[in-house]
Amino acid sequence: MSALTLIIFIIPDSKSLLAFNRVMILDHHQWWRIATSIFAHGSVDHLTWNLITLFSSSLICEAISRKWFVCYLVVAVAGLTLFQLATYSDHTVGLGFSNVASGSFCLLLLMIFKLGLQQGNRYIALLPLIVLAVFVLHELGLLGHSTGWEMLTGRAIDGVHGKALKAGHMVGIAIGACVGVAYNVFTPRRPQN
């Protein structure tokens, strides 16, 4: 996925040809945009941040439970597509996979929570819940007005400094939370060593 994203990024005009655009999808029947928009990115900063966040969280999620991670990906792509088709205006363009990355980070934290419970370690169980609360509050704009990338590099992801509430990120987080709760409820508890 990372290689495909990098290849698409260097192709001229890939953003205009592959971006999620409600009008182009529904009125002009360019259905491929549903699948291709996650691979197109607006800038090097946007691409780099998304690759770092999704790559790191997805590797660990998949190592913990490939089945539940694939379940998350299917539900996230379907849910986020429906959300975008229903709520994006005719002039809104969607690029990248930050919505999916936000949800996979949430799923990762809930998987680590379960590992903490399984090990009987309340600190390992509590820490991801604290991180999740901080993450959600930050996504809502209640903890600072800079993106994580701005805090690290001083540069804006989309050319505009400051934290904007992105509803797609919140939908991704909600989907990650639902799958994470299902994982915690329906995955058998492993015996302690």
pLDDT in tens, the chain (193 residues): 778 888 888 888 888 899 999 999 999 999 999 989 988 888 888 888 889 988 899 999 999 999 999 999 999 999 999 999 999 888 888 888 989 999 999 999 999 999 999 999 999 999 999 999 999 998 888 877 777 777 777 777 666 666 666 889 999 999 999 999 999 999 987 655 4
Report the alpha-carbon distance of residue 171 to residue 160 in Å, rounded.
22
List of long-range contacts for 60-63, beta carbons under 8 Å, 24+ apart: 60/108, 60/111, 61/104, 61/107, 61/108, 61/111
d(CA 4, CA 122): 40
